[in-house]
Chain A
Amino acid sequence: MKKTFQERLISIPLDQLTFIVPLPKKLIYYEQVLLSIPSVWSVQPALLFIKEDGDIAKLNSMDTASRLIQDPNLTAIVLCTDDEVIFREEILALFRECTLPIIQIRDGTLLGLFLQTSAPFHLYGQISTELYQFIDKGFIQIAEHLAAAFETPLLYLDENSQLLWQSGKENELRKARTWVNARQKQLAKNEPVNAADNDPGEPYDIYCIHAANLARQKLIASANLADWQKQMLDKLTGLTALMLQLEGMFQEQQQQFQEHFIYDLLYHKFESHKMMIKQGKTWGWNLEKPHHLLLIDPKISGSPADSNWMDEILTRLETYVSGKKEQFIIFPFEDQIVVLLEDGEIRTIHERKKFVLKAAADLEKELASQWRSFQFKIGIGKWYRETAFLNKSYQEAKLALRFGEIWLEDKNIYHIKELGGLRLLLHVHEEILSDYYREYLAQLIESDKNNGTEYIKTLKAYFRHHGLINEVAESLFVHPNTLRNRIKRIEEITGTDLQNSQEFMNLNIAIKVHSLLSQ
Chain B
Amino acid sequence: MTYQIMFSFDSNRCIDCKTCEMACNAYYGLSHVHRRSVLSLKQEKTGHSIHLSMSCNHCRNPVCVSVCPENNFQKRRDGIVVHQAHNCRACMRCITACPFHAPKLNPKTNRADKCNFCVERIDRGLNPVCIENCVTGALSTIINADKQNPDPLKNSDIPIRRYTKPSIFIIDKKPGKIFLRKDEQV
Contact = CB atoms under 8 A, between A and B. Distances in A.
Interface in A261-282: 263-264, 267-269
B28 to A, nearest CB: 14
B185 interface: no
B65 A391 contact: yes
A455 to B, nearest CB: 24
A399 B126 contact: no
Contacts of A335: 147-149
B71 A398 contact: no
A398 B61 contact: yes
B125 interface: yes
A121 B117 CA distance: 44
Interface string B1-29: 11000000000000000000000000000
A140 to B, nearest CB: 8
Contacts of A260: 2, 77
A402 B126 CA distance: 35
A268 B72 CA distance: 9
B125 A20 contact: yes
A403 B75 CA distance: 22
Interface in B70-89: 71-72, 74-77
Contacts of B97: 426-427
Contacts of A396: 66
Contacts of B123: 148
A510 B77 CA distance: 39
A64 interface: no
Contacts of B1: 256, 259
Contacts of B71: 269, 388-389, 391-392
Q: Chain A interface secondary structure, helix, strand, loop or mixed? A: helix
Interface residues of B, number: 30
Given A263-B77, A426-B163, A395 B61 contact: yes
A148 B123 CA distance: 9
Contacts of B2: 259-260, 263
B166 interface: no
Q: Chain B interface secondary structure, helix, strand, loop or mixed? A: loop
B63 interface: yes
A32 to B, nearest CB: 29
Interface in A379-438: 388-389, 391-392, 395-396, 398-399, 402-403, 426-427, 430
A92 B126 contact: yes
A268 B82 CA distance: 10
B177 interface: no
Contacts of B103: none
B43 interface: no
A388 B147 CA distance: 25
Interface in A140-172: 148
A510 B29 CA distance: 44
A334 interface: yes
Given A259-B1, A269-B74, A335-B148, A89 B66 contact: no
B119 to A, nearest CB: 13
A389 B147 CA distance: 24
B127 interface: yes
A150 B121 CA distance: 18
18 contacts: A20-B125, A87-B126, A89-B121, A89-B124, A260-B2, A267-B75, A269-B74, A335-B148, A335-B149, A388-B71, A389-B71, A391-B74, A395-B65, A395-B66, A398-B61, A402-B61, A427-B96, A430-B159
Nearest 6 interchain pairs by C-beta: A395-B66, A267-B75, A269-B71, A395-B65, A398-B61, A268-B74
Given A263-B77, A430-B161, 13 more contacts: A92-B126, A256-B1, A260-B2, A260-B77, A264-B77, A268-B74, A269-B71, A392-B66, A395-B62, A398-B61, A399-B61, A399-B66, A430-B159
